[in-house]
Structure 1
Amino acid sequence: MPPPPPTAAERGIEVRQRLLRAAVELIGEVGTQSVSTRLLAERAGVRPGLVHYHFASLPALLRQAAMGAMRPLLTEGTAAFTAADSPAEGAELLLRQLDGYTGRDPQSLLAVEVYLSSARDPELRAALSGLVAEFREAIAAALDSAGHPDPAGAAATLAALLDGFVLHKGLSPELTADDVIPTVRHLMQP
């Protein structure tokens, strides 16, 4: 006996997910300013009218897609850092994970584009700022537990360094974690 056909609610959830996945791809490929309803619908394989049926607006959909992509990156980074044996090892682990990015790969381009878009979109800026603040607070708490003399400052510096590392890899693909780890280890020492 074949499975029953999906319900209208299940089809709606699937369309929303397809739109969000397509938006994440397009943000990194063409930038948020170039994502149109038509382009997004085409990539998702749906009619353009469904974009506005399922989301209040195209910018709202792009914000949700951007935050949906950025949240796991930062929460996984936080988990990796706090699970490490020491803050220095946690920072090294994060840098080594970022070494896998070229600065021109879809994930790097997505992150750069989301940061850039947040400068123009106050709602995205507020959401991304909150997410980054959570990341810095978790790093600062781990540094404080390890006896670091300036946990908040070191956490902010590490977050900025990680972002800058991704940006610089796009300009200098030969840049590796090994180039910055000695300095970062020193920064993380209590």
Structure 2
Amino acid sequence: MGTRVRERLTGAAPGLIVELGWAGVSTRVLAERAGVTPGLVHYHFSSLQALLSEAAIGALTRLVDDLGALLEQAKSPEEAVEGMLTALSEYSGSDPMSLLVTETFLATTRDAELRGAVGEVLADFRARLAAWFAEHGVADPEATAAVLAATVDGLLLHRALLPEPEAAATVLRRLVAVRS
């Protein structure tokens, strides 16, 4: 029963973060959306902030895991970039995942613990990407992974404001091109 309540709470939290903004989510509203009493929020989590953080980190982890899974399908670094950009094209910048990423990144500016947790998710993704790049002969795989990961984040954040330039794919493919 306790696991189901936690899942209901963490399942309801991302939608509320998107709808109301991180600071707009209250214990009462979250409990109502999850179909539980407000007291259960604090029974299962040390604070509302801890619950929101766990939910957001879970969503970010799934997002980067999906991007990481593209590496296993790609046959070349250029194909990996293409796959990531194709996956990114599913996000408009105003869709729920884009808004959750934006709200979470903003919340990291005010919460050191959340900043550390988001940093771990990104560091894990960059390490996975760097290892894959190293196996596929990309020059300076760690730095290349850092730049590509930051670019993917930036493109996701920019999509709500400006369409992705067609040249981005060309530039990013060139970034990972294996030089003989």
TM-score range, shorter chain: over 0.9
**Aligned partners of 1:94 and 1:144: how far apart in 2?**
18
The structure with the larger Rg is 1
Aligned residue number for residue 114 of structure 2:
124
Aligned residue number for residue 164 of structure 2:
175
CA apart distance, 1:128: 1.0
**Aligned partners of 1:36 and 1:18: how far apart in 2?**
15
Correspondence 1:156-171 to 2 at 5 A: 156-171=146-161
CA contact (8 A) 2:78 2:177 kept: yes
**Aligned partners of 1:179 and 1:100: how far apart in 2?**
18
Paired residues, number: 178
1:16 partnered with 2:6: yes
Query: Structure 2 stretches of 5 or more lacking a match?
Result: none
Q: Give the RMSD, CA atoms, in angstroms.
A: 1.3
1:106 partnered with 2:121: no
1:40 partnered with 2:34: no
1:135 to 125, 128, 131: 125
Aligned residue number for residue 95 of structure 1:
85
**Aligned partners of 2:71 and 2:168: how far apart in 1?**
17
TM-score by length of 1: 0.89
CA apart distance, 1:77: 0.9
Counterpart of 1:89, as a letter, is E
TM-score by length of 2: 0.94
Counterpart of 1:94, as a letter, is M
**Aligned partners of 2:170 and 2:105: how far apart in 1?**
27
User: Sequence identity of aligned pairs in percent?
Assistant: 47
**Aligned partners of 2:164 and 2:81: how far apart in 1?**
16
Query: Structure 1 stretches of 5 or more lacking a match?
Result: 1-9
CA apart distance, 1:160: 0.8
Deviates more, 1:77-86 or 1:126-135: 77-86
